[in-house]
């Protein structure tokens, strides 16, 4: 374990430990990660972008977040012994650790190793070298650089996977966005191919169409996919490949399969077996080693039996063994370790006895027969307990621990030690491979070996009983994982359980196929819900839940099963398809089940979900009713956290209903009373981090009430909290609903652009369809404020997409922006139609927080339409002013007053305009650099002496063409 020493400090990154003279230094985890990155490269400049990507992976954060954490780190460290700081700032570029560092754990020499940057691939590290493929690797590497789809084709055991990995390993620096290995050997459901690709790349997809989402993510990125073992899902892989390559010009795909994909543009390379020596009367050791098959045999034999040497005497025998195995690498690797029990002549004689196996094969590639014969032979050499163990282990789709092996493979009453020794023997005989992991060693069967062992398992007649054991074991693991999620660090939980999904899928496939064991299938689906949630497999979760809720399985589900399944269905539907009626139905059904069980926790979760559903649909009165139910239930059952935190939902509903003072009271009370949990965040229970989300809503209310600077500061704080939470939805909520809208409301287009670039990349990476549409609303508003009419079509398209799925929250406001944009670009009639739609939607839902702004926009359009409608326009301006005053929305009041004052100025009523605008302007005590206040101040200056203007001032205003930026 590495430790870094500097001055009086010792840093152990793996333990997240910083000590000063044997005393722990209290510093935040982010600051500690920043220190770890800098100290790995002492004396070197580490750029801001690199630091952010290391410390906040897969998360968008503002640069200020980095500055805050560096400042905290400097305060914790103090000055170095020589009076200087440990960390130097390179203005505008990044930071540098400037004090001498020593590394311990591997050597006691000063640190000289360069940090290699963030992980850019997930390629497995081979424990053995690739033999005999050097020239082919170089040739195919060159071919990959010019061909966007190359498939390595060959029989099982010919070494396609290792060959592809060797090629990929040489190209890791060639792709800006990485190389990603996708093992499809364990994917037997073709519909899961896109999910497997997304998971391998680390994408958390919140979309119903995962293939399209991955393609959208890939559109402007440069990376390579290594799709391994495609043959059994070849059509699905071909479809994904075509979609990806059509959408992303810089993506390359390297595939391995027993057959080509047969898609346009595919280049096929048929990997031959390793070359073997010809049959000659005399063959020296040196001559034999010139052939790759012999070289591989010798390499693996030495690895198994260190004293083995190829001599002139045994070289012809080894050559014959390699010929008999047709140069298949897997067959050679299975045979060579047997030299621990036999000499080369005995090994050849044993292989010769397998000739009858070859002669019985009547069709297909003869090399398949050779491999099958090799496997038959290896299997035949095993002791019976080892044969039983091998075929039983074949039920594992992915790597497994010794604990799991014993749980599934050991019969009741038998000693676990038999299984443990058996696994060790199978490893020694190259039939089981090992994987070193952070939390211990895991084991797995190679794909070809596993398929062979599965066939033997079927022939044994105990396949169903072993499949059942396997499913029951996974059920127990899933139940344990759900409990441990609440108490273990996320990284440890994922290391322990994150790779169980392939086995869960396999077990579910067996349980539901032919209704073999629906009871276990339903129970495992319920138990696996945390896996799908924490691995962000939202769409897969939805599909599995719908399978388990099949009406024909009702007898196999308990009330609690129905509760959990319907709760998960509502959540996954909301985030993949939007607030459809089915979401309401699912959560309502779940609530009924929770009430039957008198389960307060799940009743609260269902009510929270319904509250969010009504908020998304714009039915804020219903959301307020749900919040009242939550408060009453939490009070009755003594759940103080839920009682306090529901003030966020109440404040949100009141905000949209235009009751800003009351909303503020609830939000401030919730923030003051909030006590964060000691271990896990509250995101899972309350949908979002309650305090951060409440702060965002309060920032919006604060702007409406006329405190722009406070609103901007509060929004920035929410953004920092959301970034620290590393939660996809939290970041969306912070930027889409708070930080970016406030930047647009205050006229800070530069800040809005920075935020938009970040959130657009974020929602694309996570394929968050609904949040993507909301982000386009903001982008369209930014375009319109920038004078670009292309924002009109973008905004209308995004609004239509949201309204089609029942999402109406904030839509009245954005339709108002659309109406104003139409008027600004000359289509007043269309603008009138749109503003009528906005006002009607606002009135029908009760979402009247923006009604003063809609009335102002409608008045602007009337004034533009005809001089004959000036009186109607003035009446609407007055309505907007009156409603804004009653709401306490000083910012809306200022906008309406500015627009009406401009109109009166043009009508030679300068004094009247000044007397209206000046008192409203004077009620502000901050935000004088924001757009609306600058516009009002400019207009007042034009009027002269704060509104005591004259006709000459009015004429000057008309001559200068003074207009309000939002008119």
Please give the full DSSP string across 401-433, using - where no structure is assigned.
Answer: -HHHHHHHHSPTTS-HHHHHHHHHHHHHTTSSE
> What's the chain's average pLDDT?
85
Mean pLDDT, rounded, for 769-792: 93
pLDDT band at residue 512 under the 50/70/90 scheme: very high
Reported as a pLDDT band with limits 50, 70 and 90, residue 579 is: very high
Please give the pLDDT value at position 335: 86
Residue 567 has pLDDT above 90, yes or no: yes
- Residue 19: predicted pLDDT: 86
Question: What is the 3-state composition of the chain as percent helix, strand, coil, each rounded to the nearest 5?
Answer: 65, 5, 30
Quick one: how far is CA 282 from the chain centroid?
A: 61
Global pTM reads 0.69
pLDDT tens digits, one per residue of 845-904: 999 999 999 999 999 999 998 888 899 999 999 999 999 999 999 999 999 999 999 999
CA 368, CA 326: separation in Å to the nearest integer?
A: 10
The answer for residues whose C-beta is within 8 angstroms of residue 908's C-beta and 6 or more apart is 951, 954
Gyration radius of the chain over CA positions: 34
Q: How far apart are CA 703 and CA 737, in angstroms?
A: 13
Q: What proportion of the chain, given as a percentage, has pLDDT over 70?
A: 89
Between 633 and 721, name the one with better pLDDT. 633
Of the candidate ranges 61-70, 722-731, 952-961, the one whose mean pLDDT is the lowest: 952-961
The strand order across the sheet containing 87-90 reads 45-47, 94-97, 87-90
pLDDT score, position 64:
65
Q: Are 781 and 791 in contact (CB under 8 A)?
A: yes
**In which residue ranges of the chain is CATH 3.40.50.300 found?**
134-270
CA distance 378 to 266: 37
CA atoms within a 13 Å half-sphere pointing along the CA-CB vector of 416? 8
Helix axes 29-39 and 63-77, enclosed angle (nearest 10): 80
pLDDT value for 889: 98
Q: pLDDT class for 140, splitting at 50, 70, 90?
A: confident
Helix H or strand E segment including 89: strand 87-90
- CA dihedral (202, 206, 207, 209) in degrees, to 10, reads 30
The pLDDT value given to residue 107: 36
Residues in the chain: 967
User: Which part of the chain is CATH 1.10.10.10?
Assistant: 3-104, 383-461
The residue-averaged pLDDT of 902-912 equals 91
Q: For residue 181, give every residue at least 6 positions away whose Cβ sits within 8 Å of its Cβ, in sequence order, or none.
A: 121, 122, 123, 124, 165, 168, 200, 226, 228
- Lowest average pLDDT, out of 630-634, 709-713, 759-763, 950-954, goes to 950-954
pLDDT in tens, 625-636: 999 999 999 999
Q: Which fold has domain 3-104?
A: Arc Repressor Mutant, subunit A (1.10.10)
Helix residue spans in 305-414 (DSSP H): 315-324, 329-335, 344-352, 355-360, 366-381, 384-393, 402-409
Q: What pLDDT is attached to residue 708?
A: 97
DSSP label of 188: -
Helix axis angle, 890-906 to 910-922, nearest 10°? 160
Of 252 and 120, more confident: 252
The band of 80, judged by pLDDT with boundaries at 50, 70 and 90, is confident
Quote the tokens at residue 250: 């810089």
Say yes or no to pLDDT of 280 above 60.
Answer: yes
Quote the pLDDT of residue 519. Answer: 95
Tell how far CA 536 is from the center of its chain: 6
Q: What is the mean pLDDT of residues 31-47?
A: 83
H-helix or E-strand containing 9?
A: strand 9-12
Burial degree of 517 (CB within 10 A; 0-12, 13-18, 19+): buried
Q: How far apart are CA 903 and CA 901, in angstroms?
A: 5
Closest CA to 440 of 389, 407, 402: 402
Whether residue 590 has pLDDT greater than 50: yes
> Which pLDDT belongs to residue 558?
95
How high is the pLDDT of residue 439?
Answer: 67
* Predicted confidence (pLDDT) per residue in 309-358, tens digit: 899 999 999 999 998 888 889 888 888 888 877 889 988 888 776 544 33
Nearest to 874 by CA among 849, 895, 897, 843: 897
Which position has the higher pLDDT, 966 or 753? 753
DSSP 523-566: HHHHHTHHHHHHTTBHHHHHHHHHHHT-GGGGGG--HHHHHHHH
Per-residue model confidence (pLDDT) at position 858: 97
Instruction: State in words which class domain 383-461 has.
Output: mainly alpha
Question: Does 74 or 630 have the greater pLDDT score?
Answer: 630
Reference 668, options 679, 654, 682; nearest CA is: 654
Tokens of 504: 């869960």
Q: List alpha helices for 578-639, DSSP H.
A: 581-597, 600-617, 620-637
- CATH class of the 134-270 domain in this structure: alpha beta
**What is the pLDDT, as a whole number, of residue 731?**
84
Asked whether 395 and 465 are in contact (CB, 8 A), the reply is: no
């Amino acid at each position: 374990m590495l430790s870094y020493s500097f001055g009086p400090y010792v840093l152990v990154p793996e333990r997240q430990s910083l000590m000063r003279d044997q005393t722990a230094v209290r510093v935040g985890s982010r600051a500690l990660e920043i220190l770890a990155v800098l100290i790995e490269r002492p004396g070197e400049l580490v750029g801001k972008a690199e630091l952010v990507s290391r410390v906040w992976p897969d998360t968008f954060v503002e640069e200020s977040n980095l500055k805050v954490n560096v400042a905290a780190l400097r305060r914790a460290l103090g000055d170095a012994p020589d009076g200087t700081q440990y960390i130097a700032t390179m203005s505008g570029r990044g930071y540098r650790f400037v004090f001498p560092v020593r590394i311990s754990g591997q050597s006691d020499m000063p640190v000289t190793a360069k940090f290699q940057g963030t992980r850019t691939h997930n390629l497995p590290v081979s424990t053995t070298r690739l033999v005999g493929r050097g020239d082919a690797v170089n040739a195919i590497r060159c071919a990959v650089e010019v061909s966007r789809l190359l498939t390595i084709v060959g029989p099982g055991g010919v070494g396609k996977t290792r060959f592809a990995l060797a090629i990929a390993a040489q190209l890791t620096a060639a792709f800006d966005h990485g190389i990603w290995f996708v093992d499809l050997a364990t994917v037997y459901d073709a519909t899961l191919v896109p999910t497997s690709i997304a998971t391998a790349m680390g994408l958390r997809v919140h979309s119903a169409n995962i293939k399209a989402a991955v393609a959208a993510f890939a559109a402007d990125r440069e990376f390579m996919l290594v799709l391994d073992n495609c043959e059994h899902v070849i059509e699905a892989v071909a479809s994904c490949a075509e979609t990806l390559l059509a959408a992303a010009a810089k993506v390359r795909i390297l595939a391995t399969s027993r057959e080509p994909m047969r898609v346009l543009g595919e280049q096929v390379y048929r990997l031959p077996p390793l070359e073997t020596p010809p049959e000659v009367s005399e063959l020296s050791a040196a001559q034999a080693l010139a052939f790759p098959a012999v070289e591989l045999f010798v390499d693996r034999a030495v690895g198994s039996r260190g004293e083995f040497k190829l001599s002139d005497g045994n070289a012809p025998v080894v050559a014959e063994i390699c010929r008999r195995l047709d140069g298949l690498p897997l067959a050679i690797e299975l045979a060579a370790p047997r030299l621990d029990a036999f000499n080369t002549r005995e090994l050849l004689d044993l292989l010769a006895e397998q000739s009858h196996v070859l002669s019985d094969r009547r069709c297909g590639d003869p090399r398949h027969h050779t491999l099958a014969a090799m496997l038959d032979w290896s299997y035949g050499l095993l002791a019976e307990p080892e044969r039983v163990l091998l075929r039983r282990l074949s039920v594992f789709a992915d790597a497994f621990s010794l604990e799991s092996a014993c749980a599934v493979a050991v019969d009741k009453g038998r000693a676990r030690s038999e299984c443990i020794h058996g696994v060790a023997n199978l490893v020694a005989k190259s039939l089981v491979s090992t994987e070193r992991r952070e939390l211990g060693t895991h084991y797995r069967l190679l794909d070809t070996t596993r398929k062979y062992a599965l066939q033997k398992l079927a022939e044994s007649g105990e396949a169903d009983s072993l499949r059942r054991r396997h499913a029951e074991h996974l059920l127990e693991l899933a139940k344990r994982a759900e409990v441990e999620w609440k108490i273990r660090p996320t990284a440890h939980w994922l290391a322990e359980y994150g790779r169980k999904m392939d086995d869960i899928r396999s077990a579910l496939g067996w349980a539901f196929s032919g209704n073999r064991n629906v009871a276990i299938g339903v129970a495992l689906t319920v138990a696996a819900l945390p896996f799908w949630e924490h691995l962000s497999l939202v769409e897969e979760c939805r599909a599995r839940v719908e399978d388990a809720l099949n009406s024909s399985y009702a007898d196999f589900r308990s009330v609690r099963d129905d509760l959990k399944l319907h709760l998960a269905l509502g959540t996954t539907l909301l985030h993949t398809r939007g607030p459809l009626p089915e979401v309401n139905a699912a959560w309502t059904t779940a609530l009924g089940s929770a009430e039957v069980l008198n389960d307060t926790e799940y009743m609260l979760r269902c009510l929270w979900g319904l509250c969010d559903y009504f908020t998304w649909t714009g039915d804020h009165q219903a959301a307020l009713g749900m919040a009242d139910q939550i408060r009453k239930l939490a009070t009755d059952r003594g759940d103080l956290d839920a009682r306090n935190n529901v003030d966020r939902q109440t404040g949100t509903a009141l905000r949209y209903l235009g009751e800003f003072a009351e909303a503020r009271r609830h939000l401030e009370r919730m923030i003051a009373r909030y006590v964060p949990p000691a271990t896990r965040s509250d995101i899972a229970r309350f949908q979002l981090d309650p305090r951060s989300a409440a702060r965002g809503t309060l920032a919006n209310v604060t702007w409406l009430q006329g405190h722009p600077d406070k609103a901007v500061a509060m929004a920035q704080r929410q953004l920092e909290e959301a970034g620290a939470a590393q939660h996809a939805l939290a970041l969306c909520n912070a930027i889409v609903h708070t930080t970016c809208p406030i930047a647009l409301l205050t006229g800070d287009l530069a800040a809005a652009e920075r935020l938009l670039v970040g959130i657009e990349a974020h929602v694309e990476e996570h394929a968050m369809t609904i949040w993507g549409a909301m982000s386009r609303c903001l982008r369209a508003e930014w375009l319109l404020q920038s004078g670009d009419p292309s924002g009109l079509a973008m905004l209308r398209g995004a609004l239509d997409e949201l309204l089609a799925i029942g999402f109406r929250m904030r839509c009245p406001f954005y339709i108002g922006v659309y109406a104003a944009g139409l008027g600004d670009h000359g289509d007043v009639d269309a603008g009138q139609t749109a503003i009528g739609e906005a006002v009607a939607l606002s009135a029908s839902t009760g979402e009247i927080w923006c009604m003063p702004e809609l009335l102002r926009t409608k008045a602007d359009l009337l004034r533009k339409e005809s001089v004959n409608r000036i009186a109607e326009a003035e009446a609407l301006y007055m309505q907007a002013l009156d409603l804004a005053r009653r709401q306490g929305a000083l910012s809306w009041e200022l906008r309406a007053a500015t627009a009406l004052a401009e109109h009166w100025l043009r009508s030679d009523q300068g004094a009247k305009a000044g007397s209206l605008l000046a008192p409203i302007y004077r009620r502000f005590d901050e935000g004088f650099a924001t757009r609306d206040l600058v516009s009002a101040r400019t207009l007042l200056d034009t009027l002269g002496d704060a509104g005591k203007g004259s006709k000459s001032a009015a004429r000057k205003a008309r001559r200068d063409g003074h207009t309000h930026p939002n008119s």
